[in-house]
Structure 1
Amino acid sequence: MSSVNEEKGQSRFSSGDGSALDTAAIGLPPDPDAHLNNEEKAAVLSTSQYNMTLTIFFISYSVFEPLTNIMLKRLRPSVFIPIIMVGWGASMLGMGFAIFFSAAAVSGSFGGLLAAAIELMDGIRGRPGWAWIFILEGLFTILAGIVSFFLVHDFPDNARFLTSDDRVRVVRRLKLDQQSSAEHEEFRMSYFWSAVRDWKMWLGMVIYMGCDMPLYAFSLFLPSIIKNLGWSSSVVHSQLMSVPPYAAAAILTILIGYIADRTHARGLCNIAVSFFGIAGFSMLLGSDRPGVQYAGTFLGAMGIYPCISNTISWMANNIEGVYKRGVVLGFVIGWGNLNGIVSSNIFFDSPRYFVGHGLILAYMVVFLLGGSLIMTILLRRENSRRIRGERNGWTAGLSDSEIEALGDRRPDFLYTT
Structure 2
Amino acid sequence: MSSASLEKPEETFVEVVSDHQQIDDDFSDIDESKVLRKIDIRLLPLVSLLYLLSNLDRGNIGNAYIEGLAEDLKLEGNQFNWCLTIFFLTYSACEIPSNYLLKLIGKQSVFIPTIMVLFGLTMTFMGLVKNFAGLFSLRFLLGVFEAGLYPGVSYGLTMYYAKKEMQSRQAIFYCASSVAGAFSGILAFAIAKMDGVGGYAGWRWIFILEGILTILVAVSAFFLLPDYPDTAKFLTPREQQFVIWRLQVDNNYKNVNEKIHLFEGSMRAKPDFTKFTEEDDVPLKVAFLSVFKDPAIYGHILVYWGIICPMYALSLFGPSVIYALGYTRGTAQLMTVPVYVLAAISAVIQAFIVDKVGNRSFFVLGDLLLVIIGFTMALVGQLKSINGLIYAALYIAGSGLVSLFPGIISWVAINFANPRKRAIAMACQIGLGNFGGAAAANFYKTGRYQVGHALCLGFATLAIINVIILQLGYTRANRKAKEDLRAGKYDEVTDLQLFKMGNRSPFFKYGL
TM-score by length of 2: 0.76
Task: Confirm or deny: 8 A CA contact 1:98 1:254 kept in the other structure.
Answer: yes
Matches within 5 A, 1:18-417: 18-31=53-66, 35=68, 41-46=71-76, 48-75=78-105, 76-89=107-120, 90-178=163-251, 184-185=278-279, 187-230=283-326, 232=327, 234-287=328-381, 288-350=385-447, 353-366=449-462, 368-390=463-485, 395-417=490-512
Match of 1:9 in 2: 44
Distance in 2, matches of 1:312 and 1:391, equals: 32
Distance in 1, matches of 2:76 and 2:216, equals: 32
Task: Confirm or deny: 8 A CA contact 1:30 1:221 kept in the other structure.
Answer: no
SS in 2 for 1:73: helix
CA offsets 1:70-123 (integer angstroms, 9 cap, x no match): 111111211111111112222211111111110001110111111111111111
CA offsets 1:351-389 (integer angstroms, 9 cap, x no match): x511111000000012x2111111112212222233444
Distance in 2, matches of 1:392 and 1:404, equals: 20
Distance in 1, matches of 2:77 and 2:348, equals: 35
Distance in 2, matches of 1:391 and 1:240, equals: 61
Letter in 2 for 1:85: M
Letter in 1 for 2:415: N
Task: Confirm or deny: 8 A CA contact 2:49 2:176 kept in the other structure.
Answer: no
Task: Confirm or deny: 8 A CA contact 1:59 1:341 kept in the other structure.
Answer: yes
CA offsets 1:315-345 (integer angstroms, 9 cap, x no match): 0110012221121111111122111111111
Percent identity, aligned pairs only, is 34
Which sections of structure 2, spanning at least 5 residues, go unmatched?
A: 1-34, 121-162, 253-272
TM-score by length of 1: 0.93
The Cα shift of 1:408 comes to: 0.8
SS in 2 for 1:397: coil
SS in 1 for 2:506: coil
Query: Closer, same or farther in 2 for the Cα pair 1:248/1:391, shift >3 Å?
Result: farther
Distance in 2, matches of 1:122 and 1:44, equals: 18
The Cα shift of 1:64 comes to: 0.3
SS in 2 for 1:177: helix
Query: Closer, same or farther in 2 for the Cα pair 1:125/1:394, shift >3 Å?
Result: farther
Query: Closer, same or farther in 2 for the Cα pair 1:56/1:256, shift >3 Å?
Result: same
Query: Closer, same or farther in 2 for the Cα pair 1:411/1:306, shift >3 Å?
Result: same
Distance in 2, matches of 1:87 and 1:55, equals: 20
Letter in 1 for 2:54: S
Task: Confirm or deny: 8 A CA contact 1:213 1:336 kept in the other structure.
Answer: no
The Cα shift of 1:11 comes to: 2.5
CA offsets 1:235-284 (integer angstroms, 9 cap, x no match): 11100000011111111111222122111111111000111111111011
Task: Confirm or deny: 8 A CA contact 2:43 2:226 kept in the other structure.
Answer: no
Letter in 1 for 2:229: P
RMSD: 1.9
The total of aligned residue pairs comes to 408
Distance in 2, matches of 1:28 and 1:302, equals: 21
Moved more, 81-90 or 242-251: 81-90
Query: Closer, same or farther in 2 for the Cα pair 1:117/1:46, shift >3 Å?
Result: farther
Moved more, 138-147 or 204-213: 138-147
The Cα shift of 1:404 comes to: 0.9
Task: Confirm or deny: 8 A CA contact 1:395 1:410 kept in the other structure.
Answer: no
Letter in 2 for 1:243: V
Query: Closer, same or farther in 2 for the Cα pair 1:43/1:193, shift >3 Å?
Result: closer
CA offsets 1:28-75 (integer angstroms, 9 cap, x no match): 2344xx548xxx935343351110111111110000011111111111
The Cα shift of 1:411 comes to: 0.9
Moved more, 188-197 or 384-393: 384-393
The Cα shift of 1:391 comes to: 7.7
Distance in 2, matches of 1:97 and 1:310, equals: 8
Which sections of structure 1, spanning at least 5 residues, go unmatched?
A: none
